[in-house]
Chain A
Amino acid sequence: GAGVSQSPRYKVAKRGQDVALRCDPISGHVSLFWYQQALGQGPEFLTYFQNEAQLDKSGLPSDRFFAERPEGSVSTLKIQRTQQEDSAVYLCASSLGGSGRDDEQFFGPGTRLTVL
């Protein structure tokens, strides 16, 4: 595709509900990242995939957060039993991968999650 796409763009959930956020990376990109951006803050790293392997999940705030990329392309970030502090914009980024930490990450528009 032309860029990284995310769906839905906006999600409102009642506290305690489960949500699933989808990321479609740029075709052929090996690396995929999830970030959380709270209001007025910079993005914070959540997790990182290389193909289907989840190589780093150190940023996931609790065991209610789960991410997967089963076929090495589309990724889903799932949040169970949502709480008000989960309200944020969730950003997905992808990169070609393979050349290390100077790979450019291309960001999607984000999913704005509001938990009531």
Chain B
Amino acid sequence: AQSVTQLGSHVSVSEGALVLLRCNYSSSVPPYLFWYVQYPNQGLQLLLKYTTGATLVKGINGFEAEFKKSETSFHLTKPSAHMSDAAEYFCAVSVNTDKLIFGTGTRLQVFP
């Protein structure tokens, strides 16, 4: 069965610091991988996705993620955190169907 593990339910950084949110997946076939962001009282918004090809993918708001097959990882990074980045972030995998399997989420806090 496919699964997603997000290490760290809460991450706190200072404004301007590097953001690193970890995601590991389990899949027996090549996965499609996604990062979504959820702001309070809003729907999930797609940040970026990996399907095939280049393993470093860039998304909106300065975020990027790198697919590492050998490590079964798809960590999300941003060089410099902004106050507006405070939100909940979900990693998800899609294997052989359209449905998404989500991790449990990481809440990012950004301190001034």
Contacts and interface: CB of A to CB of B under 8 A. Distances in A.
Interface in A29-79: 31, 33, 35, 40-45, 48, 56, 59
Nearest to A100: B98
B100 A105 contact: yes
B112 interface: no
Interface residues of B, number: 27
A82 interface: no
Contacts of A35: 100, 102
A44 B102 contact: yes
Contacts of B6: 42
State the majority secondary structure of interface residues on A.
Answer: loop
Nearest to B88: A42
Interface string A1-29: 00110000000000000000000000000
B41 A42 contact: no
Interface stretch (B66-74, B77-85, B89-97): B89-97
Given A56-B97, A101-B98, A102-B49, A42 B43 contact: no
State the majority secondary structure of interface residues on B.
Answer: loop
A4 to B, nearest CB: 7
A105 B43 CA distance: 11
Contact of B98 (A31, A40, A108): A31
B110 interface: no
25 contacts: A3-B43, A4-B43, A31-B98, A33-B99, A35-B100, A40-B9, A41-B105, A42-B4, A42-B90, A42-B102, A42-B103, A44-B102, A45-B100, A48-B99, A56-B97, A91-B43, A101-B32, A101-B95, A101-B96, A101-B98, A102-B32, A103-B98, A107-B43, A107-B45, A108-B43
Interface of B: 4, 6, 9, 32, 36, 41-46, 49, 51, 90, 92, 94-105
